[in-house]
Amino acid sequence: MEFSAQNLACRRGDAVVLSEVTFAVSQGEALILRGPNGSGKTTLLRCLAGLTPAVSGSLSFSPDDVAYAAHADGLKAQLTVAETLRFWAQVFGTRRIEAALDAFDLRGLMERRTQTLSAGQKRRLSLARLILTGRTLWALDEPTVSLDTSAVAQFAAAVRTHLAGGGAAIIATHIDLGLRDAATLDIGQFRATQSVAHDPFLDEALS
Amino acid sequence: MIALLRRDLALAIRAGGGFGLGLAFFLILCILVPFGVGPDSGTLAKIAPGILWVGALLACLLSLDRIFQLDFEDGTLDLLATAPLPLEAVATTKALAHWITTGLPLTLAAAPLGQLLNLPAAAMPALVLGLALGTPALSVIGTFGAALTVGLKRGGLLISLLVLPLYMPTLLFGADAARRGAEGLETTTPLLLMTGISAASLALLPFATAAALRMNLR
Amino acid sequence: MSIWKYANPTQFMRTSAWLLPGLSVLAALCVATGLVWGFFFTPDDFRQGSTVKIIYLHVPSALMAINAWLMMLVASLIWLIRRHHVSALAAKAAAPVGLVMTVIALATGAIWGEPMWGTYWAWDPRLTSFLILFLFYLGYIALWQAIETQDTAADLTSVLCLVGSVFALLSRYAVNFWNQGLHQGTSVPVATGERSVADVFFVPLVFSMVGFGLLFVALVLLRTRTEIRSRRLHALLARERAADTRVAPNTPPSESPTS
């Protein structure tokens, strides 16, 4: 299966920020999104995850194939690591929290409340959630923020395992994850142009 | 849904403020009123149904902005929206959790507080039954208000302005049932009408709530 | 051509510019005729004296207070279903007009109520319904003000308008159950065809009602035009900003060359 986008246009707030986004990722492949801050990486990922409906264009997959990991960790300070993972496993109807614990080396932290974790540990916990979703396409927004070198390696290994298992990933990141033959997509080239950012209130001004 | 409900309840208990705050507010309100209107037991008995219902309403309002706000800020709401659970189910579950942490304790506390306000014993069944049947509507309507204002910085004040007019019919029938009970009149009609409002809100409003959440997450 | 062509902002601006002057003059004439005729050229009521003349303000404003909400409901539905921006902006524009109509109805009612019922306010079903309507208008306007993203604001206020309409209707019948009230019946019952107002009072009242209706339409058109202009201004500013940033970020070398 191939995950592709054709001439996708995405909006953020009232403005269309991306247009003509076209890419394809096959199973077993990763796509790295690059681009300066504010170029629309988050906007694109939210669009792929189905949070923001696309203005135009088409996707070859449904949002139900996508596991989205946002900038925010989405963790509750009062829950323990095991409770957090069990909760998401139940929501996604999977039972494999052991795999997630092992992939991010969280076994020793199982009974700790999230509020006592360091920023990097929280990040690892929130990434471990991805394994529980059981979904094919990972859409990750700056996943390596506050991770140290060894944790980045863990994360890269988890991504490789996911790819080897027939998954795919679209990752917005600035660091080199050491993923061999990962394609790179520069988001800057898709910045919406005026003609595409059709605004009904500019009709008269344009004519 | 059960997982989400259990998580929300666990959070409410551990974070504090969920169970306790609304209930404490209700208690304080009922204690303050006699200081305001005087200790005359006849006057208190007369206004007790209204005080208890308005108090329950305000206590419910107190915790509304927490329903989605915390999940929105830490990114959990985004993740829930992308999960297989439909947002309508999330909305219903959140309302249920809010009711268990607010409406249910208020209902249980109403009887002793009614004694405090000298509520006639004849009114007690109608009051407690009315709260049990009416507070679910308060939670469901409140969840809708919370969904409308989830993206806002100062949502807390706005939520009262949006939700209180929607609470009007429930308050009216609920307090009326208790008042009729106190006068020894038939209470079935207002109770049934109020149950109708609760049932219809529970059946229909989660769709509006989910729609509002989707609009806010865009 | 279908009616939907007026949903295009440009077309709307053109048509409303053509309609507005005539409509405003007509509204002013009708309101003036109704009020002057009603105030100075009708006899005093034998029981109520000259206080009855406030009816020429009270009834039309009450009528428009309800109709404004109905118009907002229809406009909200059109926005939610067909995504016509003008519709959402018309609903936004109508809300303050409806609010003012509600306040006029409440205030004139209170002034009329004092000599008639001996009180400015009573918790009568009709009065209470209007007070609730007033709160709904306040909430609706506050929600519009609070949300910055315009399309989201239009979406959320439309949902509120829908849900609010159901609950407003519910409240309307709930208060009947609650208190029987002092207010007289409808002045102009449409269904029965009978009138509780005598002809001498009725004709100027019709003028006044039609005038208020036209005034409402004219005000909503005017306010919608303002809203469209403001949105156009925002769109132009956004485009200018976009044009500025387009020049800037291309100059520094891209930090990650594409492989």
User: Which residues span the domain enclosing B57?
Assistant: 2-217
Whether pLDDT at C34 is above 80: yes
**pLDDT recorded at residue C254:** 41
- Looking at the structure of chain A, the number of domains it has is 1
Most confident of A19-23, A185-189, C6-10, C102-106: C102-106
**C186 pLDDT tier (thresholds 50, 70, 90):** low
Whether pLDDT at A7 is above 80: yes
Across A172-177, average pLDDT = 83
**C251 pLDDT tier (thresholds 50, 70, 90):** very low
In C121-198, alpha helices (H) = 125-146, 150-178
Whole-complex ipTM = 0.89
Tens-place pLDDT, residues C108-125: 999 888 888 888 888 888
For helices B66-73 and B87-98, the axis angle rounded to 10 degrees is 130
**pLDDT recorded at residue C67:** 94
Average pLDDT, chain C: 84
How far CA C190 is from CA of B169, C130, C196, in Å, comes to 28, 20, 11
Q: Which residue has the tokens 């506390």?
A: B109
Which residue numbers in chain B have pLDDT < 70?
16-19
Q: Which residue has the tokens 């002034």?
A: C111
Tens-place pLDDT, residues A30-83: 898 888 887 888 899 999 998 988 888 888 888 888 999 888 888 888 888 888
Tell whether B144 is within 8 A of chain C (Cβ): yes
With CA atoms as reference, the chain A residue closest to C227 would be A201
- Looking at the structure of chain B, the number of domains it has is 1
Q: Which burial class, exposed, middle or buried, applies to A201 when counting CB atoms under 10 A from its CB (0-12, 13-18, 19+)? A: buried
Q: List, in sequence order, every residue forming a beta bridge with A25; answer none if it has no partner.
A: A3
Q: Residue B18 in 3-state DSSP? A: coil
Query: Which is more confidently placed, A179 or A164?
Result: A164
**Where exactly are the structural domains of chain C?**
7-180+201-232
Which of B148, B172, B190 lies at the smallest CB-CB distance from C156? Answer: B148
Tens-place pLDDT, residues C207-245: 999 999 999 999 999 999 999 999 888 888 877 777 776
**pLDDT recorded at residue B19:** 67
Whether pLDDT at A136 is above 70: yes
Q: List, in sequence order, every residue forming a beta bridge with A172; answer none if it has no partner.
A: A33, A141
Which of C151, C232, C258 lies at the smallest CB-CB distance from A186? Answer: C258
B14 to chain C, closest Cα gap in Å: 32
**pLDDT recorded at residue B65:** 84
For residue A91, tell me if it sits in a domain. Answer: yes
Burial C207-221 (b: 16+ CB within 10 A, else e): bbbbbbbbbbbbbbb
Q: Residue C200 in 3-state DSSP? A: helix
Average pLDDT, chain A: 84
How far CA B217 is from CA of A63, B51, C150, C219, in Å, comes to 15, 38, 14, 34
User: In terms of Cα–Cα distance, which of A49, A80, A66, A10 is closest to B78?
Assistant: A49
Q: Which burial class, exposed, middle or buried, applies to C184 when counting CB atoms under 10 A from its CB (0-12, 13-18, 19+)? A: exposed
**Residues composing chain A:** 207
Residue B206, both tokens: 């989660």
Whether pLDDT at C256 is above 60: no
User: In terms of Cα–Cα distance, which of A55, A62, A91, A43 is closest to A4?
Assistant: A62
Whether pLDDT at C205 is above 60: yes
Which of A51, A71, A129 lies at the smallest CB-CB distance from B81? Answer: A51
CATH number of the domain at A131, please: 3.40.50.300
User: In terms of Cα–Cα distance, which of A52, A59, A50, A68 is closest to A17?
Assistant: A52
**pLDDT recorded at residue C253:** 44
Residues of chain B positioned with their CB less than 8 A from the CB of C95:
none
A52 to chain B, closest Cα gap in Å: 5
Tens-place pLDDT, residues C89-108: 999 999 999 999 999 999 99
Is the CB of C8 less than 8 angstroms away from the CB of A13? no
For β-strands A2-12 and A15-26, DSSP reports them as: antiparallel
Please answer whether residues B107 and B131 qualify as being in contact, where contact means their C-beta atoms are separated by less than 8 angstroms: yes
